């Protein structure tokens, strides 16, 4: 498996080094997930492609990509050694709020999703080094997913919310490969 040294500007995404297979898989999932959401589920509130649609879809692709990339050894290792960076990364994740605004989803459900996701990720982040971190990460993620499924939100936005929650609560906040 070929290992690629990542440029400095991509360290926050893929870490300092990443396998070619993980990069390709991450990009493929981002493209496929975004395509399924846009062409199969999304019902635009405004006809035609606008700058808001393009920006919203870029954020959707970032959610899908991050959901997979955060499970990689390179990304996990990068943030495992940078606790402050991990905390900042959690706090800046306002993607779901921006996606709701840009693509016309119910903002109150986006806000609820965001509050729960960030709170759960902060709790899991505090459990770094604890043997039950992975379990409680899965537990809080599953509670959040159960609530999401019960909400009356459009299928395309449910898909975004599900992957946003998985990305931040379980994929990112949990240290999957402790040293």
Tens of pLDDT, residues 5-42: 998 988 888 989 999 999 999 999 999 999 999 999 99
Q: What residue numbers bound the domain in which 41 lies? A: 3-172
| pTM of the full structure | 0.94
Domain count, the chain: 1
Q: Would residue 113 count as lying in a domain? A: yes
Q: How far is 179 from 162, CA to CA, in rounded Å? A: 29
Query: CA torsion sign, 60 to 32 to 144 to 80?
Result: negative
Report yes or no on 12 lying in a domain. Answer: yes
In a domain, 178, yes or no: no
């Amino acid at each position: 498996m070929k290992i690629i040294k990542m440029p400095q500007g991509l360290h926050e995404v893929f870490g300092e080094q990443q396998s070619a297979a993980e990069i390709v898989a991450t990009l493929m999932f981002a493209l496929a997930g975004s395509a399924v959401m846009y062409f199969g589920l999304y019902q635009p509130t405004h006809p035609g492609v606008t700058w808001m649609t393009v920006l919203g879809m870029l954020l959707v692709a970032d959610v899908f990509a991050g959901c997979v990339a955060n499970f990689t050894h390179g990304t996990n290792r990068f943030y495992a050694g940078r606790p402050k960076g991990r905390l900042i990364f959690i706090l800046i994740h306002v993607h779901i709020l921006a996606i709701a605004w840009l693509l016309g989803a119910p903002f109150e459900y986006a806000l609820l999703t965001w509050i729960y996701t960030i709170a759960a990720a902060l709790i899991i982040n505090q459990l770094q080094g604890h043997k039950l971190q992975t379990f409680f990460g899965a537990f809080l993620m599953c509670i959040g997913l159960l609530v999401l499924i019960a909400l009356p939100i459009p299928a395309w936005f449910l898909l975004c919310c599900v992957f946003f929650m998985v990305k931040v609560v379980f994929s990112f906040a949990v240290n999957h490969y402790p040293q």
